[in-house]
Amino acid sequence: MDNHSENKAENIALFRYGLIAPLVLETLPRGELTRRAQEIASRTYVIPYSSRRQVSVDTLLEWTLSYRRNGLTALAPKTRNDRGTHRAYGRHERSEGAYLA
Protein backbone atom coordinates (compact mmCIF):
# COMPACT_ATOMS: atom_id res chain seq x y z
CA MET A 1 0.00 0.00 0.00
CA ASP A 2 1.41 3.38 -0.95
CA ASN A 3 1.67 6.37 1.42
CA HIS A 4 -1.46 8.08 0.02
CA SER A 5 -3.52 4.92 0.48
CA GLU A 6 -2.21 4.49 4.02
CA ASN A 7 -3.12 8.10 4.90
CA LYS A 8 -6.55 7.67 3.35
CA ALA A 9 -7.19 4.46 5.29
CA GLU A 10 -5.97 6.07 8.52
CA ASN A 11 -8.18 9.15 8.01
CA ILE A 12 -11.22 6.97 7.39
CA ALA A 13 -10.48 4.79 10.43
CA LEU A 14 -10.09 7.86 12.65
CA PHE A 15 -13.32 9.35 11.34
CA ARG A 16 -15.16 6.10 12.05
CA TYR A 17 -13.67 5.92 15.53
CA GLY A 18 -14.80 9.50 16.17
CA LEU A 19 -18.35 8.43 15.41
CA ILE A 20 -18.34 5.28 17.53
CA ALA A 21 -16.28 6.58 20.48
CA PRO A 22 -19.44 7.21 22.57
CA LEU A 23 -20.38 3.58 21.91
CA VAL A 24 -17.07 1.97 22.88
CA LEU A 25 -15.66 4.08 25.71
CA GLU A 26 -18.01 2.55 28.25
CA THR A 27 -19.99 -0.65 28.54
CA LEU A 28 -23.60 0.09 27.63
CA PRO A 29 -26.71 -2.05 27.87
CA ARG A 30 -27.94 -3.15 24.41
CA GLY A 31 -30.90 -0.76 24.41
CA GLU A 32 -28.73 2.21 25.32
CA LEU A 33 -26.12 1.23 22.72
CA THR A 34 -28.80 1.16 20.03
CA ARG A 35 -30.33 4.44 21.23
CA ARG A 36 -26.97 6.21 21.06
CA ALA A 37 -26.25 4.70 17.64
CA GLN A 38 -29.62 6.03 16.43
CA GLU A 39 -28.74 9.48 17.74
CA ILE A 40 -25.36 9.42 15.95
CA ALA A 41 -26.98 8.13 12.74
CA SER A 42 -29.56 10.93 12.76
CA ARG A 43 -26.88 13.56 12.08
CA THR A 44 -25.14 14.47 8.85
CA TYR A 45 -21.36 14.41 8.42
CA VAL A 46 -18.62 15.28 5.99
CA ILE A 47 -17.36 11.75 5.48
CA PRO A 48 -13.77 11.57 4.21
CA TYR A 49 -13.42 10.38 0.59
CA SER A 50 -17.19 9.92 0.22
CA SER A 51 -20.15 11.81 -1.17
CA ARG A 52 -22.39 10.23 1.45
CA ARG A 53 -23.48 12.36 4.39
CA GLN A 54 -25.02 9.83 6.79
CA VAL A 55 -24.12 6.53 8.37
CA SER A 56 -26.70 3.87 9.24
CA VAL A 57 -27.32 2.46 12.70
CA ASP A 58 -26.35 -1.00 11.44
CA THR A 59 -23.05 0.32 10.12
CA LEU A 60 -22.28 2.05 13.42
CA LEU A 61 -23.01 -1.14 15.35
CA GLU A 62 -20.87 -3.15 12.91
CA TRP A 63 -17.96 -0.72 13.35
CA THR A 64 -18.42 -0.90 17.14
CA LEU A 65 -18.16 -4.69 17.10
CA SER A 66 -15.19 -4.63 14.73
CA TYR A 67 -13.38 -2.10 16.91
CA ARG A 68 -13.99 -4.13 20.07
CA ARG A 69 -12.64 -7.26 18.40
CA ASN A 70 -9.65 -5.84 16.51
CA GLY A 71 -9.02 -2.21 17.48
CA LEU A 72 -8.53 0.82 15.28
CA THR A 73 -7.13 -1.12 12.32
CA ALA A 74 -10.49 -2.88 11.97
CA LEU A 75 -12.06 0.48 11.11
CA ALA A 76 -9.88 1.04 8.03
CA PRO A 77 -11.57 0.18 4.74
CA LYS A 78 -10.72 -3.23 3.37
CA THR A 79 -8.92 -3.48 0.05
CA ARG A 80 -10.76 -5.36 -2.64
CA ASN A 81 -9.33 -8.72 -3.65
CA ASP A 82 -10.45 -8.19 -7.25
CA ARG A 83 -8.99 -4.69 -7.62
CA GLY A 84 -7.58 -4.15 -11.08
CA THR A 85 -9.27 -7.19 -12.61
CA HIS A 86 -12.20 -7.36 -14.97
CA ARG A 87 -15.43 -8.69 -13.61
CA ALA A 88 -16.99 -11.65 -15.37
CA TYR A 89 -20.52 -11.17 -16.61
CA GLY A 90 -23.07 -13.81 -17.45
CA ARG A 91 -24.71 -14.19 -20.85
CA HIS A 92 -27.69 -12.04 -19.78
CA GLU A 93 -25.54 -9.12 -18.62
CA ARG A 94 -23.41 -9.27 -21.76
CA SER A 95 -26.46 -9.14 -24.01
CA GLU A 96 -27.85 -6.13 -22.09
CA GLY A 97 -24.47 -4.41 -22.38
CA ALA A 98 -24.68 -4.63 -26.14
CA TYR A 99 -27.71 -2.37 -26.06
CA LEU A 100 -25.82 0.26 -24.06
CA ALA A 101 -23.06 0.63 -26.61
Residues of the chain with pLDDT under 70: 1, 82-84, 87-101
pLDDT at 30: 83
Cα-based distances in Å from 88 to 27, 82, 92, 94: 45, 11, 12, 9
pLDDT at 38: 98
Asked if residue 68 belongs to a domain, the reply is yes
pLDDT at 92: 59
Sign of CA dihedral 37, 41, 44, 50: positive
Is 72:17 a contact under the CB 8 Å cutoff? yes
pLDDT at 90: 61
Is 22:40 a contact under the CB 8 Å cutoff? yes
Asked if residue 95 belongs to a domain, the reply is no
pLDDT at 78: 86
Asked if residue 94 belongs to a domain, the reply is no
Residue 53 dihedral angles phi and psi, to the nearest 5°: -125, -5
DSSP one-letter string for 31-54 = HHHHHHHHHHHTS----TT-S---
Q: Which domain holds residue 48?
A: 3-78
pLDDT at 6: 84
35-55 tens-digit pLDDT: 999 999 999 999 999 999 999
Number of domains within the chain? 1
Asked if residue 83 belongs to a domain, the reply is no
pLDDT at 37: 97
pLDDT at 5: 82
Helix (H, G, I), strand (E, B) or coil at 79: coil
